[in-house]
Chain A
Amino acid sequence: MRYLPHTEADRQAMLQDIGMSKMSDLFADIPSEFHTELGSLKLPDGLSEAGIVKKFTKAAEKNRHAGNTRCFLGGGTYYHFVPAVVDYIISRGEFLTAYTPYQPEIAQGTLQALFEYQTMIARLTGMEVSNASMYEAATATAEAALMARRVTRKTRTVIAGSVNPRYRAVTENYLSRLEGDFVEVGMGKFGTDLSKVIAEIDDKTACVIVQYPDFYGSVYDLKPLREACNAHKCLMVVAFSDVSAFGLIESPGAYGADIVVGSGQALGIPMAYGGPHLGVFACKKKYLRQMPGRVCGLTTDADGKRGFVLTLSTREQHIRREKATSNICTNQGLMCTAAATYMTLMGDAGLATIAQHSAAALDLLVSKLPSHVVAASGAHYNETVLTFESADKRDAFIAEARKQDIFAGIPLEKFEKDIEAKHLLVATTEMIEEDDVNALIAAMEVAS
């Protein structure tokens, strides 16, 4: 077996060295009734490396993907461009095959990359501090709700119905075994009506969670929410599903958010059928000690040179055990390195270009819609809801688009099960060209 260095002679010699004669002696402490007969598992026999490549190539060819279609799918995952340099850097064995940096002297590479990541995420979201990642956006949202309970010592959570339904579901699930109310505020439209959210905030509220741009891609003024949170001493939590937005639009931090959470997948991380992605978590500095997850901090070494370590570990499970701020241990470290590399390559100018292209593609799409398809009104970043005359007409369009190898969007009822099946969530990125938009519109016209 090519991954195992021992020859049979090595094994025999080593067994002899430890006073044993056969491999099974090593497992003498396991009651014999639990010994599996070797080679009796229902698995196929091992494949050669060439066999593995063949197997996965064949399976991959059965899938359609964003690279050989025109992809207008969003809903929390977006087809952004991944520069070759990002993949190269995270493929380097020193980053790829290291563990969590428990021995900082020989993990300064990971640690400095994390520090740079934290700095850039804080700047992009307009916040004071960032942690070193959560799993993804939904669990990050749930962790924000839990953190707000610790900070405020209150237990009521208010969440806008325009937050990605999956973030809502996971957050509700995380909170469901703990005391306290979980209030979802129905919006009644494809956008965010802050007045409805604000009406639900009371003095028992630990936090209010909104999404910006919201699940439907709508961008709106968060200022009134900050005032309402101040009035009731609750935390303002802002979620997002495509961090690329903040290359263009005002950051949640600029509106005074207390905690900002969301998906950093846009920062050089492939969609990979749902993960590994990147959960972003940033907050105000005064709440630092209630923050979940790992965090990297600056310090000095024995010679007085600048260096980095994982810090504030007294918040964490390996020290605090059942009183920890979170149970998280392994997070998405390599995705932070990817995001740091991506942001370094882009800089402000590149991030702004990506966001402008993403938004301009949506504008172009909306401007070309035939009269029987209506887009949600108001300011949108790179995602919106299209409404068709009927479910049949929408489905005819989706089918026609598929024939042209276009993934036209996500039927909204996939996220919101009670909704009439005539809506479609469509998203654009810098990967969408004018030609793609034209093809989508053409399919719409054919199907109408």
Chain B
Amino acid sequence: MSENKYSATSGIQQEEPLLFEHAHEAPESINLPGVKGEVSSDLAAFKRKTPANIPGLSEPETVRHFVRLSQWNHGIETGFYPLGSCTMKYNPRVNEQIARLPGLAHVHPDQPEDSVQGMLGLLSELQGWLAEIAGFSDVTLQPAAGAHGELAGLMMIRKCLDARGEQNRKKVLVPDSAHGTNPASAALCGMYTVELKSGADGRIDLEELKKHLDGDVAALMMTNPNTAGTFETDIKEICQLVHDAGGLVYGDGANLNALVGVARPGDMGLDCLHINVHKTFSTPHGGGGPGAGPVAVNDTLKPFMPVPRIVENDGVFSIETEDEQSIGTILSTLGQSGVYMRANAYISAFGNNHIHQIAQDAVLNANYVLSKLKSVYHVPFEGLCKHECLLTDEWQNKHGVKTLDIAKRLIDLGFHPMTVYFPLIVHGAMLIEPTETESRETLDSFCDAMLEIAAQCEAGDTQALHDAPLKPIRRRLDETQAARKPVLVWEG
């Protein structure tokens, strides 16, 4: 089986010690034009008795150290990254460039409003665009990530119910396919969750939902398309049922990429929706953030949005910091403005004439992959998928091969694996999200790799799968050891 048709090679990767293990310290520290002189005697009394023991390397050594580390990473710019529910699309370089303009990067959050009209204009414009794309009446930019958006949304729901005199409503319904952040956010909001068992098709089961709709229900948290990659076709009835029972519907927008420009969650009856701009709107994920989780709300929840908020009056922007009905503030600043510059630039590039192509190509690519793989991998829920497709390892299990082996083998062939073992509603899940920025050539190459792996299983030629990965700088890592005796800092 030839491997050179795939991009991965066993090219040179440099080992690099921890910076604490480098032999020497930099000969001189930074030179600055600032104010020189000893600190006041008042402050001198509080001087550190021992230095922090941060070694410091010269500039060339620092660059080499971190460049070597970078080369051990797989990023979107390195290769295909079909991580389901994470929307790893191309992050346009011009977005990085504009976010670094001094007039945007070096603005202090407490500058007078008249000195930041350009920044406020861009943020306000984005707010309006997100509301329009998602189909809601307004957007708060304060949440710093998706889970923070969930918290903000649930706080608004709590406040809305309280305003209706329904403090008793504390039950949050969460499908068993939901992201783990959903129940965690509900708990943080002083509410409790009840898990809804998905139907045989992986979707919300209306009868199951009805069973739980009583006077205690505060909200249903749902992801649509759900984490099995399929659209909740009963969305209208679902929202109606929850509303009739006196609850509100929270939308987890992690999967908004499937709908951008094609359909709007707000039109379907949801009361709010958080948007992961680091997924749908291309802001780079940075190896674990920063993200941003703005929340779009309908008229029911709008009065309760967090402060501060940007307000426009005759083309002049100001910041409103107080509002009696608001849930208050959940971050020290207005939001992750630097991230929003990039999201604004992304939407600017598509505009009204192209924005629907995001969802179209994303859904096309996922269905294309699904159609190529469904004959050799078990598909738990038949039919159209949206922006991602769900497979399982059921057919490979009989050859002793698990999802994890398939994932690690993909690494050796030059691909980042798909999301594995999520959603939890199927055994051995493999959730593949190609995104709209991948070419047919890349998809074909990935599908070939997946087909080859399946063929190796059928042929009983599975050793390479169990041994994988062999090509990265490290092989499978012992996670049990890491958790049993945690070493989180270098003590050498």
Contacts and interface: CB of A to CB of B under 8 A. Distances in A.
A174 B188 contact: yes
B305 interface: no
A202 interface: no
Contacts of B40: 359, 363, 379
Contact of B96 (A91, A274, A313): A91
A64 B348 CA distance: 24
B3 interface: no
Chain B contact residues (Cβ within 8 angstroms of A): what range?
Answer: 35 or more
B232 to A, nearest CB: 9
A97 interface: yes
Contacts of A432: 34-35
Contact of B233 (A29, A98, A133, A314): A29
A40 B132 CA distance: 10
Given A46-B351, A65-B107, A343-B54, A56 B73 contact: no
Contacts of A36: 261-264, 267, 356
Contacts of B364: 6, 11, 14-15, 23, 26
Chain A contact residues (Cβ within 8 angstroms of B): what range?
Answer: 35 or more
Interface stretch (A74-82, A182-190, A203-211): A74-82
A305 B70 CA distance: 18
Contacts of B20: 116, 119
Interface in A422-444: 428-434, 437
Contacts of A13: 440
A55 to B, nearest CB: 7
A153 interface: no
A64 to B, nearest CB: 4
A429 B53 CA distance: 22
B235 A31 contact: yes
* Most chain A beta-carbon neighbours within 10 Å: one of B56, B363, B411: B56
* Most chain B beta-carbon neighbours within 10 Å: one of A79, A219, A350, A431: A350
A104 B351 contact: no
Interface string A321-333: 1111011111111
B40 to A, nearest CB: 5
Contact of B474 (A43, A104, A130): A104
Interface string B440-484: 100000000000000000000000000001001111111101110
B189 interface: yes
Interface string B334-346: 1111110100010
A170 B188 CA distance: 13
Interface stretch (B60-68, B208-216, B294-302, B391-399): B60-68
B56 A344 contact: yes
Contacts of A219: 43, 46
Contacts, number: 707
A432 B71 CA distance: 37
Nearest to B105: A270
A112 B32 CA distance: 30
Contact of B345 (A52, A119, A381): A52
A177 interface: yes
Interface string A78-95: 010101010111111111
A170 B306 CA distance: 11
B43 A379 contact: yes
* Most chain A beta-carbon neighbours within 10 Å: one of B43, B416, B437: B43
Contact of B121 (A62, A83, A96, A336): A62
A298 interface: yes
B476 A302 contact: yes
B432 to A, nearest CB: 14
A322 B288 contact: no
B101 to A, nearest CB: 4
B46 A249 contact: yes
B356 A29 contact: no
Contacts of B436: 3-4
Contact of A79 (B106, B368, B490): B106
Given A89-B67, A307-B477, A29 B334 contact: no
B474 A6 contact: no
B147 interface: yes
18 contacts: A1-B350, A2-B349, A42-B132, A59-B122, A64-B116, A91-B96, A100-B287, A105-B475, A109-B69, A114-B288, A115-B488, A115-B490, A146-B188, A272-B107, A276-B144, A288-B486, A346-B56, A360-B37
Given A98-B75, A128-B489, A319-B180, 6 more contacts: A4-B361, A59-B103, A102-B83, A178-B190, A322-B192, A337-B66
